[in-house]
Structure 1
C-alpha cells in the first residue's frame, strides 16, 4: 500500500472548501465519504478500492466493499475524485472545478500520478477530436510520462 504524504497541514483548509462546495450543491458529505476523501487526499499517488477498504476498516471494522464503492461513486459524481483507468486507482481532485476533462500524468517508473492543469492543451485536444468526428469517452485523459523525480534519478 502506498505511503501517506505530509499533506496533513493542508487538509483542514481543503476540507472546509469541499464542505462549502457540497453545501452549495446540496450534496451530503457523510462521515464515510469524508473519510474516503481524506484517505485519497493523503495518498496523492492514488489508492485502489481494496486498499481504501483496508484503511477504512481500521476505524470501521464492519465496512464492506460496497461501502467504499458507494463513497467513491459519490466523490466522482461530485467532481471530488477521479478514477484512473490505466492503474485502476482513485485520486482526489485538487482543482476547484472541471469545465474540461482532467489531464493525468502517470509515471511508468514509480507509479506516481499527477493532475496537470493544461486548459489550452485540453481545448485543443477536444477540438481536434471533434474535427476528426470523435468525442472523448472519459472525464480523464491519461498520459504516460516520466516524472521529474524519476528523470533526476536516470
Structure 2
C-alpha cells in the first residue's frame, strides 16, 4: 500500500503521547509549521548546520505527514532543482535522523518527521498495515521497561524506537464495513 490516501493526514498530537488520538484529523498546515519552527529552533540551539536541502527535506516529510522512502524524497528534491543523485536525499535524511528531527521507520524502510523535536522521547510508531499511515506516539512506559531490562544486563540504551503494526481507525472501519 502507498499511504497516499486523499484523506486528511494524521499523526500523534504534537507534544503529546495520547495514543487514542494518534490518528485524529487536525489542522495539518498549523501542525507542520509548528513542528518545523521547533526543529529549526532545536538545530540553532545545538549549533547544527540546517542547510537549505536539509530544511527542504524536513519540509517534504512534514508536508507528506507520513513515512516516505528516500527515493520518494529524492524525486521531490529533484523536481525542485536540488539535484537528483541519491546521496543528496540520503545525507539530508541521515542528518535529520542523527539530529533527532526525523525518524527511520524500519518496517517501511522509510523516514518520518519527528513530531517532538527537541524533546527527549522514545517514540512508538503505529503503522497501519493497509494504508501505511504512520502515527508517532510517546512510549515512555516501554522505554522505562527497556532501560530497566538493559540496566540489569549492564547495558546503557542511548536511543530506541518501537514499531507496532495494525489497523488505523479508518481502515478498521472499512474492513468491518462500518464506513
Q: TM-score range by the shorter chain?
A: 0.7 to 0.9
Give matches, 1:80-91, under 5 Å.
80-91=101-112
TM, length-normalised to structure 1? 0.84
SS at match of 2:167: coil
Distance 1:115 1:97, change over 3 A: same
Structure 2: tracts of 5 or more residues without a match: 10-26
TM, length-normalised to structure 2? 0.74
Contact residue 67 and residue 111 of structure 2 kept, 8 A = yes
Could you tell me which residue of structure 2 aligns to residue 109 of structure 1? 130
Contact residue 46 and residue 113 of structure 1 kept, 8 A = yes
SS at match of 2:58: helix
Could you tell me which residue of structure 2 aligns to residue 32 of structure 1? 53
Distance 1:70 1:126 in 2: 30
How far apart are 1:137 and its partner, in Å? 9.0
Could you tell me which residue of structure 1 aligns to residue 39 of structure 2? 18
Structure 1: tracts of 5 or more residues without a match: none
RMSD after superposition: 2.5
Tell me the matched-pair count: 154
Contact residue 121 and residue 139 of structure 2 kept, 8 A = no
